Structure 1
C-alpha cells in the first residue's frame, strides 16, 4: 500500500509535526487509525510501521504515523515521556485528522509500548473524535508496572531503558525533509536535555504525583471509549490487561499470547495470531458500526502455557488457547497454601527460616521485559533456588491451571533498615528441573504502600503482601510447586548495598486456580503481515544476555547484555541506520555494595555527505544512602564532536536511613 511520505500537521502554537500517511484504495472518506510516538518514522520505527500500517490501510482505514514534538522531523524539543504537552498535541492531531477530506470524522488509536501507554492516556483526555483504541504491551500504572520499579525495587531496566531514551531524546531530523536547518534543530534538541532520564526516574522513588500523572489507574472512569488490550506472558506489562478488564466500565476485550514485547502478529515466542485482523474487527465495530459479533465474544482470551523444560529462548511456546466470558471470572477461584516447616501445604504451622542470599541470586531471571530476539527468558531456576528459602509442595495428584495474579503474604523480621525480597513461584519437574511460573518483588521500605518509603526497624515483626505477576500456566500432575524467597535478584534489580538477613516466620500463597473449561476460545486466525521493509542488514537486531563470567578467586560475576536494534540500509530513504548498544552488570558474590551497572548506546545516521552520530555512556552505583549515576553524552558531525555534556547525579533511596535530598553536579 503506497504511503505519502511526509504530511505536515501544524499545531496552534506553530509547531509542525511530521506524519506518514497510508490511504486505502477504496474511494470516499474512511475512519483513521493513528499511532503517535517519538520513534522516528524515517528510520528507527520504519520497519515496524511497514508491517502494521499498510495492513490497516488494506482493511479500509487511513493509517497515520505521527512523530511527536521534538522527534524525527517534527519541530520542537522533548525531555521526558508521557507529558501534558504530549497529550495536548495528540488532541490537536486527532482533531486535525478528523477534519481531513479522506477521514470520516472517526479516529482510533493503536500502539505498542510507548504508544500503548499514550493511547490510554490520550483516551483519558476524551478527544471528541476518538472512538476506540488498541493498546499492546502498555501499562495503566507508571510506578507499579513500568521499567523503573517493581514492588518499589529499582530495576536495572531503569538504567538500560533510560540510556536508550537518553540517546534517542535528541537525534537530528533528516536533511532531506527539513533542509539545511537540520543541524540547528539538532543542537537545540541536545541543549534541551535537562538531565539523563534515568536520574529523573530515580529521584521519584515513591509513587508521587510524577508517577500518578499518566497512570490511568488513578481514574479508570476517564476512559469511555472501547478498549482492546493485548499482551504477552513473556512481556513485562501483562498485568495491565487484567486490571483494565477488571476496572474499565465500557466495552473492552483482552488477548494475552505467549509472546514478548512486540506486536502479536510478528512476536516470539509463538504461536503468533492475526493481530491486524483482530484489531481491525475491533475498529470495524466501533468506527464503522459493523455488527460483527465481537461484543459477544469472551472478554479475555489467553494462551494457557504448558510446562516445558525452561530455556532462555523459544521459537514457539507450548500450550493452548482458553477464554473467559467475563473478567474477573467466576471460573477462577483462589486456593490458599501455607508455608510450613514441611514446605508448602494445606495446614498452617509455626517455623523460622532465615535467608541471606548471595549477591548473584537472580542469574536465571531473564530480562524484565523480554523481546524474544535472543536469550532473554528465565532459565532453570535451580541455581537461584540454592540461594533462596524454598518451600515445596507434595507432588500434585492432578494438573492445575493458574489464570490470574497469585499473591504471597509473609510475616518476617529483618536485621537491617533496608531489604528487598524476590518471591518466585516455580514448578519442579520429577527430574528436579525448576521452571519459573511467575514472580514478584518488594522493597520492604514500601511494605505499607508505595506512597512513601520508610526504613525498617531491625528485629521488628512485619507482615507484607507481595503480588506476583499475572500468569496463565498449566502445571502437570507429578510436579511440585515451589515458593522461593531470596534477598537478592540481580541483575534484574539494582541491589541495595547492604546484605540483609530476613527471617520468615509465617506465610501463605493464594493461587488463582481455573476450575472449569470456561468459554469457547474465539478463532484469532493465522498470523500474517504486510511485506517487511526492504533493507540490507549490516548487523542483525539482538537482545539478551550473551555471557556470564565468574572469577573464582574474587567472587566477581559479570553479566554482558547486547541491546542492538541493528544496523541496516533502508532502500526507501537511502539511509544507513546504526542503533547499537550493550550493558555490563558486575557484582561480588558476598558484597552487593560493589555492584555496578554500565550501559553504552550508539545511534548513527549515514547518507551521502550526511553522517551524524550520538554516543552515550551511563554508569550506576550505590552510595550508603542512595544511587549515583554518571552519564556522558557526545554528538558528532562527520566525526567532529559538536556537543558534549556530562552529569553526575546522586539521588536518595526510598526508605534509606539518613538519605538526603537529591542533588547533581557536573553539567
Structure 2
C-alpha cells in the first residue's frame, strides 16, 4: 500500500503548547479513515530515532495504519521544557494527543500505543489513565516498578548507570531544534532549554528509597488500572526482562508475552540473533484489537520465550544465540516447577540440606566481567567469562549433569546470613560451567541488605545476627547441557554495576538455612508450536556512512594500590552507529563518550565514576557541539555529584552550565 509522510506537524494542546510530530498515512486514509498508532518519546523524531522510525512506522502505514511519532514536551521541535521522566504532565499531554488523534479525519477513532524503553514505560502508564480511544498497547523493554527495575537502582543498591544515563540525557537534551523546522525562534528556545536543564542524575539520586516519587508511574501499584489489551516484549540480553512475566501474571486483560535473546532493541533488528518478523507480529496484534480482524494472534501461547543453549563466553561479544522457542499456554506455567539445590561446605550443591558456615568478603572490584547493565547490541557489552569473578566469590557447583536441564523463569536464592557491618550488599550469579571450565553468566541479582524487607523503609543489618535473605534473580531461559555444571556464585560487591556500600563487609552464610531454587521445565512437557516469519521492514532512511565507530573496553588492576580501572570508550557513534549523514535532511551526527570507573579492593570510599562526552550535529553553516563532564564520588555520609554542559554554535560557546550537588546517603 502506498503511503504519504508528513515530515513535521504540530499537535496542539489545551495550554497552548505544541508537540512536534511526524505522520505516516496510508494512501486513501482521508476518504476511508484507519486506526492510528502512537509512539511518544523525547528522543527527537527529526534525527534521534529517524533511522529506526522510517522502516518500522513506514511498514505499519503500508499495512493500513496512520502512525504518529511525537516528541514529548521540551524535546526536539516541540514547545516547552522537560523537567524529568514519567511525570504526570507527560501523561496528561499523551491523553490529549490520543484524543486529538481519534478526532482526525483520517483516523477511525481507534488508537494503539507502542514504544520501547521510555516509550514502553509510558505505554503502560498512559494505559493506567484509561483514555477512551486507546484500544491496546505494545510495550517493549519496559518495567512495572520504577525503583526496583529501572536504570537507577537495583535490589535497593545504586546502579552506576544512574550517572551514565544522566550524562546521556544531558547531551541528548542539550541539542537544539532544527532551524529548518523550528524557524527563527530556534536559538532562543535552545538557550531557554539549556538554562532550564535539570541535572538529571541528581534528580534520581535524591530518592534513595521507594517513595512516592518512584511509585508514581509504577504499574505494580495498581494492576487493575490497566483495562486494555497488552502485548509485552523483552530480551535476555537487555535489563528489562522481568516486566514480561509480571504483566502476564498480574494483569487480567487479554495479554501476550514475548522474550527473545535480544538486547535493548526492537526484535526485527534483534541482536543477539535470531531476529524475528516482529513487525508482522505487531501487525497481527494491531489488526486484532484496532481493526477487529482475527489474524490468529490471540491463539498463540500466552508466553513465547527463547530458551538459550550454553555458549562459550570467550569474550564479551555475542552476535548470535543458539537455542529454541518454547510456548507456554499460560503464565505462570504448569510445565515449570521449582527445584531446590542446597549448598554444601565443600563448595558443591546437592538435594539435601548442608551444614556448617562459610564466609566471604570479596574485593570491591569483583564483577569486572559483568558487561553492561543494559545490553544495547554493541560489540563487547555482554558479560564475559566469569572465571575471574568466580575466583573472587563464594561458589557452589553441581556435579556434571547426566542429562540436560532446561530452566525458564526467575531463580530464587534463600540465604541465612550475618554481616559484620550494618550496611552491606551482595550479588548472586547463576552460571553455566562447561567441561573446559569456562563460566557463562545466565542470570544474576543484587541486594542492598538494608532493603532485605523492602525498599520503602530500609533498615541496617543487626551486626552478627543470622538473618534470612531472599534474592530473586533476573528472568532467564537456558538449557544446561549434559556434562555441564550449574554454578551459584556469591560476592559482597558487583563493580562496576553497583556502587559499593560505605564499608567493606564480611558475610557469613549458614548453609543449613540456605537453598537455591531453579525454575525447571519438565522434560516431558508437551511443546506448543512457535514460529516467526523472517524480519521485514519498510523503506530505510537514506544515510551516508562517513566513518565507522571505534569502541573500546578494558579492565586493569594497579598491583601497587590494588585499584581496578574499568574503561569504556565510544568514538563516532556511542551505540555502534558511526558518524553518518541523514541525506534527506542533510544532517550529520557524531556522538562519543569516555567512561572511567575506579575502586580500590578494600576501600569503598575510593570509588569514583567519571564520564566525558561530546555530541556533534549540523550541516554547512550550522554546526552544533555539545560537551558534557560528569563525576560521582562518595564519603561515608554523602554522595557528591558534579557536572558541566557546554553548548557551541559554529565554534562559539553559547551556554555553559555547572552543577555541584551532594546528597546524604540513605542506607546506601
Is 1:282–2:285 an aligned residue pair? Answer: yes
Correspondence for 1:337 among 333, 337, 341: 341
Deviation, 1:395, is 1.8
Deviation, 1:8, is 1.1
Is 1:514–2:521 an aligned residue pair? Answer: yes
Q: 1:531 to 1:555 in 2, by over 3 A?
A: farther
Correspondence for 2:378 among 373, 378, 389: 373
User: How far apart are the structure 2 equivalents of 1:157 and 1:451?
Assistant: 21
Correspondence for 2:111 among 104, 107, 130: 107
User: How far apart are the structure 2 equivalents of 1:29 and 1:466?
Assistant: 51
Structure-2 residue corresponding to 1:664: none
SS at match of 1:230: strand
429-438 or 204-213, larger mean C-alpha shift: 429-438
Correspondence for 2:250 among 234, 244, 247: 247
Alignment map for 1:1-16 (pairs within 5 Å):
1-16=3-18
Alignment map for 1:326-365 (pairs within 5 Å):
326-342=330-346, 343-365=348-370
Structure-2 residue corresponding to 1:660: none
Deviation, 1:613, is 2.1
SS at match of 2:263: coil
User: How far apart are the structure 1 equivalents of 2:310 and 2:389?
Assistant: 19
Structure-2 residue corresponding to 1:162: 166
User: How far apart are the structure 2 equivalents of 1:260 and 1:144?
Assistant: 19
User: How far apart are the structure 1 equivalents of 2:288 and 2:337?
Assistant: 32
Alignment map for 1:448-463 (pairs within 5 Å):
448-463=453-468
2:545–2:581 contact (8 Å) kept in structure 1: yes
User: How far apart are the structure 1 equivalents of 2:547 and 2:468?
Assistant: 50
User: How far apart are the structure 1 equivalents of 2:612 and 2:127?
Assistant: 35
User: How far apart are the structure 2 equivalents of 1:534 and 1:653?
Assistant: 49
Q: How big is each residue's C-alpha offset from its partner over 1:540-577, in whole Å with a ceiling of 9 and x where there is no partner?
A: 4577x612222233322211113514432111111112
1:337–1:508 contact (8 Å) kept in structure 2: yes
Correspondence for 1:603 among 601, 608, 615: 615
Correspondence for 2:308 among 305, 309, 330: 305
Is 1:491–2:480 an aligned residue pair? Answer: no
1:409–1:465 contact (8 Å) kept in structure 2: yes
Is 1:524–2:532 an aligned residue pair? Answer: yes
Correspondence for 1:268 among 268, 271, 278: 271
Correspondence for 1:640 among 644, 652, 667: 652
Correspondence for 1:232 among 235, 254, 266: 235
Is 1:116–2:120 an aligned residue pair? Answer: yes
Alignment map for 1:327-476 (pairs within 5 Å):
327-342=331-346, 343-476=348-481
Deviation, 1:85, is 0.5
User: How far apart are the structure 2 equivalents of 1:463 and 1:169?
Assistant: 44
SS at match of 2:247: helix
Q: 1:519 to 1:130 in 2, by over 3 A?
A: farther
SS at match of 2:269: coil
Structure-1 residue corresponding to 2:27: 25
2:423–2:502 contact (8 Å) kept in structure 1: no
21-30 or 326-335, larger mean C-alpha shift: 21-30
User: How far apart are the structure 2 equivalents of 1:451 and 1:650?
Assistant: 22
Correspondence for 1:538 among 520, 532, 546: 546
Q: 1:150 to 1:132 in 2, by over 3 A?
A: same
User: How far apart are the structure 2 equivalents of 1:571 and 1:382?
Assistant: 47
Deviation, 1:128, is 0.6
User: How far apart are the structure 2 equivalents of 1:541 and 1:136?
Assistant: 26
User: How far apart are the structure 2 equivalents of 1:570 and 1:626?
Assistant: 45
User: How far apart are the structure 2 equivalents of 1:293 and 1:264?
Assistant: 20
Deviation, 1:519, is 4.1
SS at match of 1:139: coil
1:79–1:169 contact (8 Å) kept in structure 2: no
Deviation, 1:373, is 1.5
Deviation, 1:521, is 2.9
Alignment map for 1:606-617 (pairs within 5 Å):
606-617=618-629
Deviation, 1:642, is 1.8
Structure 1 unaligned blocks of 5 or more: 657-667
Q: How big is each residue's C-alpha offset from its partner over 1:356-399, in whole Å with a ceiling of 9 and x where there is no partner?
A: 10122101111111111110111111100111011111222211
1:239–1:470 contact (8 Å) kept in structure 2: yes
Q: Count matched residues.
A: 654
Alignment map for 1:311-330 (pairs within 5 Å):
311-330=315-334
Structure-2 residue corresponding to 1:202: 205
Is 1:39–2:43 an aligned residue pair? Answer: yes
1:272–1:527 contact (8 Å) kept in structure 2: yes
1:374–1:542 contact (8 Å) kept in structure 2: no
Q: How big is each residue's C-alpha offset from its partner over 1:306-340, in whole Å with a ceiling of 9 and x where there is no partner?
A: 01111311221010111100011111111111122
SS at match of 1:619: strand
Structure-1 residue corresponding to 2:564: 557
Structure 2 unaligned blocks of 5 or more: none
SS at match of 1:292: coil
Deviation, 1:115, is 0.3
Q: How big is each residue's C-alpha offset from its partner over 1:496-523, in whole Å with a ceiling of 9 and x where there is no partner?
A: 3421111111311111111043442332
Q: How big is each residue's C-alpha offset from its partner over 1:101-157, in whole Å with a ceiling of 9 and x where there is no partner?
A: 111110101111110100111111111100111111111111111111110111111
Deviation, 1:14, is 0.5
Structure-1 residue corresponding to 2:81: 77
